[in-house]
């Protein structure tokens, strides 16, 4: 099947992924590299074959979300490191959902990590490297002409559904979904669709029994050697593959 797709010029090179045009103007190839970054790119490294794991993990999650009727950019995995996706115009916002207090929320508000948020908290970060991706609110996003209030409403609705679906999906695999970041794009019909990736790079996962961290925080906070971070990503993939 993959032999029919012709990979063309590179369209965007991000910190951990590359996007290529294809011979179909409505489809792109997303390539997962082994780069790992944190703290707005300040901390950079390379973990051999992490891209292979993230490609597989994000594939499983997007396939699951597609099966839940969430509109996503994902079409299919085409090889170890690459997926075929619908081409979208990315909205330069990161939507963070928090189910448990951790990370920047804990630091910013001086609240202990681990407190359960019975009502999930939604945050928006403006994707702008120069400004170091600041936290903004709806009014800023509308003022910046990135989205309308109506579009934000749609995004919050989809985001809330995604949280409900994947929280349960992970919980059934003995993983607590502490928080995560997602991004959206607009397809050629101007519909808002979930894009980018969902992986241990973009989520906080804690083990249901031990509350041990199972994600990029181990790298971000320098808790583990690279090899151990790789092993944790393998552990996540193993759990997702158990139905
Ligand atoms: P934070 O606590 O650092 O704000 O992160 C919240 C969640 O969003 C966490 O799961 C990591 C994810 N995230 C990213 O994937 N990329 C980012 O640039 C940021 C700020 C957060
Ligand atoms: N903004 C961070 C980065 O540069 C993401 C993170 O810490 O998760 O990759």
Nearest ligand, CA 183: 1
Is the pLDDT reported for residue 165 higher than 60?
Answer: yes
Report residue 3's pLDDT band, with 50, 70 and 90 as the boundaries: low
* Higher per-residue pLDDT: 227 or 47: 47
Q: Which two tokens stand for residue 168?
A: 């349960």
Helices (H), 1-43: none
pLDDT of 171 reads: 98
Helix (H, G, I), strand (E, B) or coil at 14: coil
Give the DSSP H/E element, type plus range, for residue 185.
strand 175-186
Q: pLDDT tens-digit profile of 179-208?
A: 999 999 999 999 999 999 999 999 999 999
Report residue 10's pLDDT band, with 50, 70 and 90 as the boundaries: very high
Looking at the CA of residue 103, tell me the nearest atom of ligand 1: 2
Task: Name the CA dihedral angle for 31, 92, 152, 198, rounded to a multiple of 10 degrees.
Answer: 30
pLDDT of 42 reads: 85
Instruction: Give the chain's mean pLDDT.
Output: 96
pLDDT of 175 reads: 98
Looking at the CA of residue 106, tell me the nearest atom of ligand 1: 2
Ligand 2, pocket-test mutation among 35, 36, 37, most atoms within 8 A of CB: 37
Cα gap 13→10, rounded to integer Å: 7
Task: Name the CA dihedral angle for 156, 159, 161, 165, rounded to a multiple of 10 degrees.
Answer: -170
Q: Decide: 53 and 234 in contact? Cβ < 8 Å.
A: yes
Ligand 2 midpoint to CA 242 (Å)? 29
**What is the average per-residue pLDDT within 123-128?**
98
Q: Decide: 216 and 36 in contact? Cβ < 8 Å.
A: yes
Q: Whose CA is nearest to atom 6 of ligand 2?
A: 38
Q: pLDDT tens-digit profile of 43-68?
A: 999 999 999 999 999 999 999 999 99
- How many Cα atoms occupy the beta-carbon half-sphere of 116 within 13 Å? 3
**What is the average per-residue pLDDT within 98-124?**
98
How many angstroms separate the Cα of 152 from the Cα of each of 47, 102, 220?
36, 24, 30
Angle at 114 between CA 112 and CA 117, to 5 degrees: 100
Ligand 2 midpoint to CA 78 (Å)? 26
pLDDT of 40 reads: 81
pTM of the model: 0.96
Q: Decide: 228 and 200 in contact? Cβ < 8 Å.
A: no
How many angstroms separate the Cα of 118 from the Cα of each of 104, 127, 175, 176, 202?
18, 28, 17, 14, 21
Classify residue 130 by burial, with Cβ atoms within 10 Å: 0-12, 13-18, 19+: exposed
């Amino acid at each position: 099947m993959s032999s029919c797709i012709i990979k063309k010029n590179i369209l965007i090179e991000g910190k951990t992924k590359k996007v290529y045009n294809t011979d179909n103007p409505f489809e792109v190839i997303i390539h997962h590299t082994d780069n790992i970054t944190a703290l707005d790119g300040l901390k950079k490294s390379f973990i051999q074959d992490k891209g292979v794991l993230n490609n597989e993990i994000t594939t499983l999650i997007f396939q699951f979300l597609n099966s839940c009727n969430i509109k996503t950019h994902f079409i299919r995995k085409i090889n170890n490191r690459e997926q075929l996706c619908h081409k979208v115009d990315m909205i330069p916002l990161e939507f963070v959902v928090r189910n448990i207090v951790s990370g920047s929320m804990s630091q910013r508000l001086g609240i202990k990590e681990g407190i359960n948020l019975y009502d999930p908290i939604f945050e928006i970060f403006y994707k702008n490297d120069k400004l170091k991706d600041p936290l903004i609110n709806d009014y800023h996003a509308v003022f910046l002409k990135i989205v309308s209030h109506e579009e934000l409403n749609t995004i919050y609705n989809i985001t809330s559904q995604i949280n409900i679906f994947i929280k349960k999906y992970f919980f059934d695999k003995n993983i607590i979904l502490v928080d995560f970041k997602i991004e959206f794009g607009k397809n050629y019909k101007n519909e808002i669709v979930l894009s980018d990736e969902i992986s241990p790079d973009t989520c906080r996962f804690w083990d249901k029994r031990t509350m041990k961290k199972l994600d990029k925080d181990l790298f971000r906070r320098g808790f583990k050697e690279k090899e151990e971070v790789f092993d944790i990503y393998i552990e996540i993939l193993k759990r997702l593959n158990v139905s």
